[in-house]
Amino acid sequence: MESMLNAVLEATFVSKCVLAFLLFMSVMSWAYMGGKWVTLLSAQKRTGRGLAAFDSAGSLNAALTGLERDTASPLFGITRRAVREFNRINTTGDAEKLLNDNVRRALHFGIAEEMARLKSSLALLATTANTAPFIGLFGTVWGIMHSFQAIAQMKNVSLATVAPGIAEALIATAVGLFVAIPATCGYNIFRSKLTSIEGVCITYAGQLLNRMQHEVAVHEAGLSFAGERQP
């Protein structure tokens, strides 16, 4: 450990800049992964609870009242779009014909909007995973070039004189991999969680559309949800 620290301290200015930048990328990616883990875990729990409550609710209005209590849930944003569109077409007197296409599109847009919010800044983690090894490789190549220039000025060259410079250069590649591997794992885990959340949202959207169609078939009435008022 002490030898590695000495190698870093004796590195060239460019190599030190590369290592400092990789360290910054590592800190930022770990901080992002911590925050994103909490966000996605919360969204996964909220969507699961919301779907279960929606299934168990007796009427559509009762189900919507339950969803209104959790404004942080992705289902809240999806429902708000769908109810707004439902109430809009319900005033035209042609709700039965327009409901399937219009509300389906509103649900699609709602899901896309919520997933985009949950995916925000995920590209930064992918960028870290993809670029960190190459940044480390750049530091290694630069260090080896510097070592070869120093070797060319020596009259007597042996393994003992060459090894320290090469080892110093290779540290940058090792640090680049140290930054990239956790970022890659985190990105794949988050993608899996996002796929799971999106699946629950799609299931919910289908059930909401079915209940709205039933609502129109039974009696044409507006729905009240998060500021929406019955017409």
Cα–Cα distance between 80 and 10 in angstroms, integer? 60
Instruction: With a cut of 70, list the residues of the chain below it in pLDDT.
Output: 1-11, 93-98, 150, 152, 154-165, 217-231
pLDDT digits (tens, 9 = 90+) for 192-207: 999 999 999 999 999 9
**φ, ψ at 58 (rounded to 5°):** -70, -50
HSE-CB at 140 with a 13 A cutoff on CA atoms is: 16
Nearest CA to 109 among 87, 71, 79?
A: 79
Tell me, what's the pLDDT at 227?
47
Which residues have a Cβ under 8 Å from the Cβ of 85 and sit 6 or more positions away? 102, 103, 105, 106
Which residues have a Cβ under 8 Å from the Cβ of 46 and sit 6 or more positions away? 70, 72, 73, 74, 75
Rounded to two decimals, what is the model's pTM? 0.81
